[in-house]
Structure 1
Amino acid sequence: MWAHLLHGFLTHLVHKGRLRLIYPDGTERVYSGSTDGADVAVTLHDPALPRKIVMSPDMAVGEGYVDGRLTIENDDLYGLLTLAIGNVADAPGGDAPWHRQIEALRRVGRWVTQFNPASRARTNVAHHYDLSGELYDLFLDADRQYSCAYFSDPAMTLDEAQEAKKHHIAAKLLVEPGMRVLDIGCGWGGMGLTLARDYGAEVLGVTLSSEQHAIANRRAAEAGLQDRAKFELIDYREVEGRFDRIVSIGMFEHVGVPHYHTYFNKIEELLDPQGVALVHCIGRARPPGTTSPWIAKYIFPGGYVPALSEMVRVIEDTDLYTTDVEVLRLHYAETLKHWHDRFVANIDKARDLYDEKFCRMWRYYLIACELTFRLNRQVVFQVQLSPTKDAVPLTRDYLYPPDRGMERQAAE
């Protein structure tokens, strides 16, 4: 029965590319559409996989690949995920009907899975960000920027694009020497150190990752910036005081929908009346949805990519003005491709740190995310906020002055 249902799903789904599927009983079927898509051959080795794929495609395919119960000819993971994500994204209405039904069921439990009180938030953060620091050195840039880079020139290296991202955000923050800046979800300290070193800011960074906290403070000491860049191991909800600027990069995805009001109310509470905040996060260019169960289980527990409507609806309940919204579209796809290529180049070192199964999981994660940005409706939002309507210039000209590059070079 389940093989028959899977056959029906794939017959409906594959309208671009070609999939040759060998079922666990040896039956071979071909699903094909237009010739402009990927051409892949997949073998299912576990008799339970047809049922699992029908019930939860994301989870079953991801687990099956990582465990070796699903194999791809020539290990063409990029081809399989291109075919799967591309066909789902191009289906009428944005999804195959059966996929939308599964999404509707997932949404019923969304608030439960995204309930992130401080204790649970710490556990979720540790799951991903407290992995070996050596792992991140294998694929991130020298500054350990673990978020979307900004390719203002397509020929940029990853390190150059991550530098460009930080300075693009600094420009939106209009940071001046002596300003107090709060960095919510500060990572390994790269943004905070840049604001302290290049812009003369007094930075407080907060994180729930003990690994990131230790490294960020060590980096500040090594750079002689410990008096201007301090990093604390606390929840953003515990921060007190007033700040001229607030920045949050790649952290909002971990807040959880039930806590959106708390998050933006906290920004309003901490921000000076003439202050500016910038929230940089992954977003979906479609209505609210749910997180891939495979990503939620193995990569980012408690994580969720918001629709812009979900963010704006909550911001409207505060006294903050949305002073600017920029949508970065393919920048994260390019960032993830760089990360994947670097990871593969260092995969022997990754095996030494973990094992082959971990390497398969990490490759699946990086490729699936890249192709979701490249082929599906996933983007990055940069939302600028202020309690005051005229706290920032009335046009975007200030972001692109002719001498911006020369000034940055002089500061460096």
Structure 2
Amino acid sequence: MWDNLFDRALRQIIRSGTLIVEMPDGSTRRYGDGTGKPVKVTLTDPELIRKLLLNPELHVGEAYMDGTLVIEDDDLYGFLGLVLSNIAQGNSSPVQHVNQFLRRALRVVRQYNPVGRAKANVAHHYDLSGELYELFLDEDRQYSCAYFRSPDDTLEQAQKNKKAHIARKLLIEPGMRVLDIGCGWGGLGLTLAQEYGARVLGVTLSEEQHKVA
């Protein structure tokens, strides 16, 4: 079934140029109108056919890296150019439309994140021993990238640089109200309040972060 769907999909998509595909069983198929320099690929894993149909954006790259999709003369640019130019011409297949619909539906299901689940996700990631975070974070546990203005900056200084840079970018002035959604352990909020005079409300779903903040 997958072989037939794969063949139909490629015949719908590759209409100009020449693509030669050697299948896992050793058979060879040609697609396109025969013009241009032929591009040949070899599929070495039968399971790859199903994967390419269900999620080509992911599995083309993975298969190229792990060697289950071999491009003759390693002509990656030629292969991508051929496929993308055909897609740009509006060539698509019914299989693609079904695939896109299923992936959009699955994305909606995966992204459904009610409060209970969101809290559980946060707890799984952040409600761990504070001793763990003390091993690799700065004093107030900034969890995002630091700003090293100099190679000699320590992590503590780089995180202070970051918070000061954020305050300048936001043009924080005394009395301003700031809502920090996902405030972590409250380090940025405390800085904006103590050093810039802002009135900060931090929101976190993590019990452990709330204890510290």
The two structures have a TM-score, normalised by structure 2, of 0.54
What's the CA shift for 1:112? 4.4
Partners of 2:149 and 2:161 within 8 A in 1: no
Shift of residue 24, structure 1, vs aligned partner: 0.8
Q: Which has the larger strand fraction?
A: 1
- SS of the residue corresponding to residue 29 of structure 1 reads strand
Name the amino acid aligned to 1:108: A
Confirm or deny: 8 A CA contact 1:21 1:30 kept in the other structure. yes
Aligned CA distance change for structure 1 residues 243 and 25 (closer, same or farther; 3 Å): same
Aligned to 1:25: 25
Letter in 2 for 1:29: R
Report the secondary structure of 1:26's partner residue.
Answer: coil
2:103 maps to amino acid: R
Seen in structure 2, the aligned counterparts of structure 1 residues 114 and 83 have a Cα distance that, compared at 3 Å, is farther
Listed as ranges, the gaps of 5+ residues in structure 2 are 126-141, 173-180, 183-213
Shift of 1:97: 3.3
Q: Which whole-Å CA distance do the structure 1 matches of 2:89 and 2:34 have between them?
A: 12
In the TM superposition, residue 8 of structure 1 has moved relative to its aligned partner by 1.2
Counterpart Cα distance in 2 of 1:34 and 1:40? 11
Show the counterpart of 1:219.
149
Query: How is 1:313-392 mapped onto 2 (pairs within 5 angstroms)?
Result: none
Higher-Rg structure is 2
**240 and 111 in structure 1: CA distance in 2 versus 1, 3 angstrom threshold:** farther
After TM superposition, give the deviation of residue 10 of structure 1 in Å.
0.8
Aligned mates of 1:208, 1:79 — CA distance in 2: 42
Given the alignment of the two structures, is residue 231 of structure 1 paired with residue 162 of structure 2, yes or no? yes
Instruction: Tell me how far apart the structure 2 counterparts of residues 61 and 241 of structure 1 sit (CA, whole Å).
Output: 44
Aligned residue type for 2:99:
I
8 Å contact from structure 2 (residues 53, 99) kept in 1: no
- CA distance in 2 between counterparts of 1:88 and 1:78 reads 15
In the alignment, the residues of structure 1 paired with residue 57 and residue 151 of structure 2 have an alpha-carbon distance, to the nearest angstrom, of 43
Q: Where do residues 129-148 of structure 1 align in structure 2 (5 Å cutoff)?
A: none
Distance 1:91 1:105 in 2: 20
For 2:149, the aligned partner's letter is R
Alignment equivalent of 1:110, drawn from 101, 107, 110: 107
Confirm or deny that 1:100 pairs with 2:31. no
1:19 match: secondary structure: strand
Classify the secondary structure of the residue corresponding to 1:231: helix
1:233-272 per-residue CA deviation (whole Å, 9 max, x = no partner) reads: xxxxxx9999239xxxxxxxxxxxxxxxx89xxxxxxxxx
Q: For the aligned residues, what is the CA RMSD?
A: 3.8
Deviations 1:357-381, CA, capped at 9 Å, x for gaps: xxxxxxxxxxxxxxxxxxxxxxxxx
| Alignment check: 8 A CA contact 1:88 1:96 kept | no
Q: The residue matched to 2:162 in structure 1 has which SS?
A: strand
1:81 Cα deviation (Å)?
A: 1.7
TM-fit CA distance, 1:221: 6.9
Distance 1:86 1:25 in 2: 28
Match for residue 244 of structure 1?
171
How far off is 1:86 after superposition? 2.3
Q: Tell me the CA shift for residue 75 of structure 1.
A: 1.2
Contact 1:20 1:29 in 2 (8 A): yes
Report whether the alignment pairs 1:11 with 2:25: no
User: In the alignment, what sits opposite 2:54?
Assistant: 55
Q: 1:115 to 1:75 in 2, by over 3 A?
A: farther
Q: CA deviation at 1:74?
A: 1.1
Q: CA deviation at 1:99?
A: 1.4
Letter in 2 for 1:39: P
- Pairwise mapping of residues 128-167 of structure 1 onto structure 2 (< 5 A)? none
User: C-alpha distance in 2, partners of 1:242/1:31?
Assistant: 54
Task: Work out the CA distance in 2 between the residues paired with 1:4 and 1:105.
Answer: 19
